[in-house]
Amino acid sequence: MVIKILIQVNQVHLFPVYDENGQPTEDEEVQFGMRCPDYPDLPTYGMRIPYPCTKADVDAAIQAKCVEIKNQMQKDNQLRQQIENMYNRVTIEGTEFFETEVDV
C-alpha cells in the first residue's frame, strides 16, 4: 500500500526541545504537519523529528506514522463493518450515516 503524503511548506518549523521541568535543552526538533490527500477523512498528523535530520530520517518517521495510520484504518474498517451489520446505512447530503430509531 502506497500512501501519498503532503507536508505544507510554510508549516515546517524548528523548535527547541524542553525537559520534563519545562527548561530548554541543547536539542532541537523539526515539527510539521502531514496529510494524506487520498484519505480526506483523516486528520493532519503532527510530526516531531530530532534535528539535525536527513531525508532518510524524515522518511523513516513518516513511514512509521503511516504504519500506525494503516493499522488504525484497518481496525476502523472492521468496526464499521460490525456496526453496518447492526444498522442501516443512509447517505444525507453526500455524507454516510448509520441510522437507527429508538422508542422514548
* Per-residue pLDDT tens digits for 59-102: 999 999 999 999 999 999 999 999 999 998 999 999 999 999 99
Helix (H) / strand (E) element for 35: namely strand 24-35
pLDDT recorded at residue 1: 75
Residue with cell string 513518516: 62
Overall average pLDDT of the 3-29 stretch: 95
What pLDDT does residue 19 have? 95
pLDDT at 38: 92
Asked if 17 and 30 count as a contact pair (C-beta separation under 8 A), the reply is: no
pTM equals 0.77
> φ and ψ at 56, to 5 degrees?
-60, -40
Q: What are the pLDDT digits (tens) for 34-66?
A: 999 999 889 999 999 999 999 999 999 999 999
DSSP secondary structure letter of residue 65 = H
| DSSP at 43 | -
pLDDT number for residue 2: 84
Please report how many Cα atoms fall inside a 13 Å half-sphere around the Cα of residue 93, on the Cβ side: 0
| In contact, 3 and 24? CB cutoff 8 Å | no
